[in-house]
Amino acid sequence: MEHVAPSSRTAILTSSSSVSDGARYLQTSSLHGTIQRPVTDALRAHVGAGNDSVARFFDRVRVGMSGPRARIVMVGHAIGSLPPYLSALRKSLDVLGVLAKPKSAQADILRRVSRHYRTEMLSRTICDSPLLMSDLLDRMTEGKDTILVDIGGYFSNVPLWRAQGYFQNIKGIVEDTENGHQRYERADLADMPVISVARSQTKRLEDWWVGRAIVFSAERLLRQIGDTFHSKRITVLGFGKIGFSIADTLSRHGYDVSVFDIDPCRRVLAKCLNYRIPDWKTAISRADIIFSATGRKALSVADLQDQKHPTFIFSATSGDDEFDIDLNILSRSYGEFWELPKLKDQSGTVFFASRGNAVNFVDGGEIGKYAHMVQSAILHGIDAVQCGEFKSGEISELTQARENLISRAFIDEFKAADE
């Protein structure tokens, strides 16, 4: 298994033999090492109650499922919310394997997951080769009928390859992200059932909180080098669900925000909400801070050649999906910032946070209980494949009835916090 760089995260651990039996500690892992602090009874009770609520929420969600028990291989972020999600899934289906996204993976979570499930690191190299992908999935599925759960379109070639004679045991795919949804839109789906939750109401809620998490992590990294967003000109590239949330979060704090999107309707919406909407070149060249949330490899080295001042770039997704740049040319600068080599006549240095990868995962990528709504949508997507609720050859979405059930379950389980 390839090395996973540490990121900021928190977990409650049972003590080792070096401390008194039964003691528990709060472990915080970050770029600066690992610190353990005693956990109070009140915090332990809070975490335990939260885990119980999550389990009850998934029990409520399962009530609306009627298909036969499925087997899955899933792509996942190896972060703190993954183990309880896998525990919830086991009540409804068989998890044959977990493919961890390497750029968000946390080493301690990978160890926990791999003790119970066949776990491997995923890469685009594997996904671009039918032979490598076939070898990987054959090891995990052992020829059993399986549904693939995707985060980012890693399996977007599988439908065509199945039509060519590979992967005959793959019965459907459920996709989680907008970036992945777009990959399946461009792919030849043949007759493969593909259900996407990327544009569901539950996903909109998650993306809202992801945008806020991105802003939090970005400013925290700036503060580590003695800087803030104050007096900075900020550009948000992409005004979809996450870009909208990023811009809103920044504007609520009074920052100077410009927005660019290739969709003119979204640019008009941004103007309606009082954002500047400069052209592409101006949006980039005037910016001190750039949040890139396009998911389309929109930003290239050539786009950055006119920078006359230091520019900090924060990505909302994986660097290989967000930038048309070979990120291997970046060199480590300071902290979590990586420097782009200067071009001819370029006077300003360009820095990429987290080496161009999603900045929120520097702090673990957690968004609280709203993540469980999307997880339950994926669970219902799997059930929809089993129940035949799809149209072959095109991307299908959850029915409104399934979305309503998930939302009611969330309100019924977590409403106590509002009372």
pLDDT in tens, 52-69: 888 899 999 999 899 999
- So what's the pLDDT on residue 3? 36
Contact 260, 267 (CB under 8 A): yes
Supply 403's token pair: 């979305």
Parse the chain into domains and list their residue ranges: 67-200+369-418, 203-363
Distance CA 122, CA 145 (A): 21
- Classify domain 67-200+369-418 at the CATH class level: alpha beta
Q: Supply the DSSP symbol for 415.
A: G
Arithmetic mean of pLDDT over the chain? 87
- So what's the pLDDT on residue 26? 47
* pLDDT tens digits along 293-324: 998 889 999 999 888 899 999 999 989 889 99
Supply 88's token pair: 């919830």
Contact 118, 99 (CB under 8 A): no
Residue 38: pLDDT band (50, 70, 90) is: low
- Classify domain 203-363 at the CATH class level: alpha beta
Topology alike, domains 67-200+369-418 and 203-363: yes
- So what's the pLDDT on residue 45? 53
* pLDDT tens digits along 228-280: 999 999 999 999 999 999 999 999 999 999 999 999 999 999 999 999 999 99
Pick from 97, 118, 124, 119: which is nearest to 107 by CA?
119
- So what's the pLDDT on residue 40? 64
Using CB atoms within 10 Å of the CB of residue 282, give its burial: 0 to 12 exposed, 13 to 18 middle, 19+ buried.
middle
**Amino acid identity at 95:** V
- Per the model's pLDDT, the better-predicted residue between 71 and 35 turns out to be 71
* pLDDT tens digits along 338-372: 999 987 666 789 999 999 999 999 988 888 888 89
Distance CA 18, CA 395 (A): 54
Whether this model's pTM surpasses 0.85: no
pLDDT at 4 over 90: no
Distance CA 177, CA 195 (A): 11
Distance CA 243, CA 294 (A): 8
Distance CA 241, CA 200 (A): 11
